[in-house]
Structure 1
C-alpha cells in the first residue's frame, strides 16, 4: 500500500512535526510505503502531479497547530482525484484547522506576524465561514483519527459526521527498556516540551514558590527542558524564556531550576528518566474557547509513558483521560494552589512516583509505535477497500 503523507516535518519546530516524523518511520517499519509529495515555494503541497498521485492508494494528513497547507491540499485532492481515499489525524479536536486555511501567501500568513490579539480577532471574525469549510471537508473524508477518545466524540459532534468515521488511535511512543527512578535525595520534577505562552508555566512557578514557603526544608527541583523557539500559529511574544527566568528570580525559586533548552532528541530519554515525574501545567486558551474545545493530548506526555514516568497535569485538553490509567494526577488548570498541593503530596510521599511510573510504563508498552502503526495500517487497508 502506498500512502501519501501531508504533514509538517522536522526541522520545523512543533509537536505535530515531531509526531509526523515518528509516525512515518513506524508506518514504514510496518511495511507501508509512505511517500511525501513535493511542496511549493509558498509552503503549499503539489496536488497536480499526475505521475505521483495516480500511484497513491490513500493520502493521510496531519491536521492541527493552526496550519492551513494540509487542509487546503485535502480540499484540492478531493476535487482533482475523487477516487483517492483521504484521511487525517486531527491533533486539535473539536476543530480541523481553527482559523481560515487560506494559502500561506495570503492574509493568514501576514496576520501571523501581527501583534496580539489581532490574529485571534481575525480568526474569530471569519469563524463562521471557517467552520462551514471544515464541515464540508470532514463530510468528504473517508476516515478521521484522533489521539484521545474525548477528542473523537467532540470532533464527530462538531463536524456533524457519523461517529463511526472518527477513530481513536493513541499517540505512539518508542519502545524503551525500563529504568529505575533516580536514587538521589529529593524529588526531581521535569517540565518538558516547547516553551511558549499558554503552557501554564507561570502557574507552575507560582506553585513551586508556595511549596518552598510551606516546606522550606524539603528537597525538590525542577528542570525546564524543551524547545525555546517553536513554530507558532499565532506569532510570538518576544523573549519568553527571559521573561520566565525573571519571574523565577522574583519568586525566589531561581536556584531550584535547571534549564536545558533546545534539548536534542538523542538526550530526551536520559533527561526524562533522570527525573521522578513530569509536570504539564497547560491552560486551555480562553480565546480559542470562543472557537471550540481543544481535546487532544501532548507529545511530552507520550514521552513520559515511553520512559516510565508519571505526570502531574492540569485538566486542560484531554489530560484527564490520559491520566485515568493511574499514571499520574490531575489538578484544576490555572490553580497554582491545587498544583502546589499535588507537588507537596509527592514531596511528602515519594513512593507515589513509583506507583505512577509502573502504570506509565505499562501504558507506554501498549502504545509502542509498532502497535500503533499496525492499527493505522489496518484502518488504511479497510478505508481503501471501502473506497474501491
Structure 2
C-alpha cells in the first residue's frame, strides 16, 4: 500500500507534527509506503495547493491528512485533491473536533476591511463570516472516506456538527511511544509536572494560584511539594504583542512566594522527555478552553502531553476541558472544573494527603500506555486504510 501523508512533520515544533512523525514511522515499520508531498511547505495554503498540482499522484492508493491547530495548508490540500480526484480515498485525523479548521483563510469583502481595526471589530467580523467557514468544512468533511478522532467524545461532536454518516467515523486513541516503565520516585517531596508548550491559555496561572492557596491552608506542605514547568517555549508562542509570557509567569511566581518550589525545564531534547516525566509522580494539565473558540463551537480534542503521561506510566490531574474527562476515565487520574482554582487546590491537597493515589494512577496509566503503543495504533490505521481503499 502506498499512502500520501498530508501533515506537518518534524522539525516543525507542534504537537501535530510530532504525532504525524510517529505515525509515519510506525506505518513504515508495517511495510506501508508513506510519501510526504507537502513536507517543507509549512502552513502556507497557497504553496500547499501548488504542491498538490505539481506532485505525481500515480500509484497513490490513499491520502491521509492530519488536520488541526488552526492550520489551513492541509485543509486546502484536501480540498484540491477532492476537486481533482473524485474517487481517491481521502482520510484524516481531526485533532480539534467539532470543527476541522475553525477559520477562513481570508475574510470576504467587506468583512476583510475589519482585519486591521482595533479589537473587537476583527473578532466580530470573524463571527459574521463563520457560516461561510462552516459551509466549507462540512463540504469537505462529507466528501471524506474516513475521519479519525482520538476520543469518542470528539467523534460524536464532529459527526453532529459536520452532519456525517456513522460509517465515516473512526476512533483511534492517541498513539504512545514504547517507553520502559520506571518506578515512582520516593513519595516525598511530591513532584508535580506541567508539561507542554508554554503559552497563554494553558491555565498555568491557575496551577500557580492553586499551589499558593494550598500552602496558605496547609503551610506544612511547602516542604513536601515541588512543581516543574517544562515544555516548548519557541518565540512565536512565548512572546506576543502583550510581551514575554515567560517573564509574566516568573513575576507571578515571585509575587506568590513560590520561587523556591518551582523548577524550569524548557525546550528539552526529545530523548530527555520520558526521563523527565518519570522523575515526577504525576502531571498537572490545567487547560482552559478559549472563550473566543466557544463562540464558534466546542473543542473536543485531547493532548499530546496527556499521551506522554500515559506512555510514561504517570497519572494526571487535569481540568475537564476538551475530551480530558474521557482520557482520565481509566483510573489514571482525576479531573476538576476548568478555571476553578479552589477545586484544583483541593485535588492537589487530596493527593498530598494520600500519595498512594499517585501510585494507583501510575499503575493504571502504565496499562493504558501498553495498549496504546504506536505499533498497535499503526495497525488500526493500516486496517482503516484497507477498508477505505475497498470502497473505491
Query: TM-score normalised by the shorter chain: which range applies?
Result: over 0.9
Q: 1:237, CA displacement in angstroms? A: 4.0
Q: 1:11, CA displacement in angstroms? A: 2.0
Structure 1 CA distance, aligned partners of 2:199 and 2:182?
30
- Deviations 1:271-313 (Å, cap 9, x if unpaired)? 0000000000000111100101110110000000000000000
1:295 is paired with a residue whose SS is coil
Counterpart residue number, 1:348 = 353
1:89 is paired with a residue whose SS is strand
Structure 1 CA distance, aligned partners of 2:312 and 2:325?
20
- Deviations 1:336-382 (Å, cap 9, x if unpaired)? 10000010111111111000000000001110000000000000011
Structure 1 residues 348, 177: closer, same or farther in 2, change over 3 A?
same
The number of residues matched between the two structures is 380
Counterpart residue number, 1:62 = 66
Structure 1 CA distance, aligned partners of 2:173 and 2:6?
19
Q: 1:191, CA displacement in angstroms? A: 0.1
Q: 1:18, CA displacement in angstroms? A: 1.3
For the pair 1:239 / 2:236, whether they are aligned, the reply is: no
Counterpart residue number, 2:364 = 359
Q: 1:200, CA displacement in angstroms? A: 0.7
Structure 2 CA distance, aligned partners of 1:266 and 1:147?
25
- Deviations 1:11-43 (Å, cap 9, x if unpaired)? 222111111111111111122111100465955
Give the TM-score of the pair, scaled to structure 2.
0.92
For the pair 1:317 / 2:349, whether they are aligned, the reply is: no
Counterpart residue number, 1:35 = 35
Q: 1:178, CA displacement in angstroms? A: 1.2
Structure 1 CA distance, aligned partners of 2:80 and 2:248?
43
Counterpart residue number, 1:83 = 87
Q: 1:48, CA displacement in angstroms? A: 1.5
1:48 is paired with a residue whose SS is helix
Long gaps (5+) in structure 2: none
Counterpart residue number, 1:380 = 385
Structure 1 residues 114, 294: closer, same or farther in 2, change over 3 A?
farther
Give the TM-score of the pair, scaled to structure 1.
0.93
Structure 2 CA distance, aligned partners of 1:362 and 1:116?
48
Kept in 1: contact 2:281–2:314 (CA 8 A): yes
Structure 1 residues 122, 259: closer, same or farther in 2, change over 3 A?
farther
Structure 1 CA distance, aligned partners of 2:338 and 2:135?
31
Counterpart residue number, 1:220 = 225
2:34 is paired with a residue whose SS is strand
Kept in 2: contact 1:14–1:230 (CA 8 A): no
Structure 1 residues 237, 338: closer, same or farther in 2, change over 3 A?
same
Counterpart residue number, 1:301 = 306
Q: 1:185, CA displacement in angstroms? A: 2.1
Kept in 2: contact 1:71–1:101 (CA 8 A): no
Structure 1 residues 115, 330: closer, same or farther in 2, change over 3 A?
farther
Counterpart residue number, 1:178 = 181
Structure 1 residues 330, 184: closer, same or farther in 2, change over 3 A?
closer
Structure 1 residues 313, 31: closer, same or farther in 2, change over 3 A?
same
Counterpart residue number, 1:139 = 142
Q: 1:119, CA displacement in angstroms? A: 5.9
Q: 1:253, CA displacement in angstroms? A: 1.0
Kept in 2: contact 1:194–1:230 (CA 8 A): no
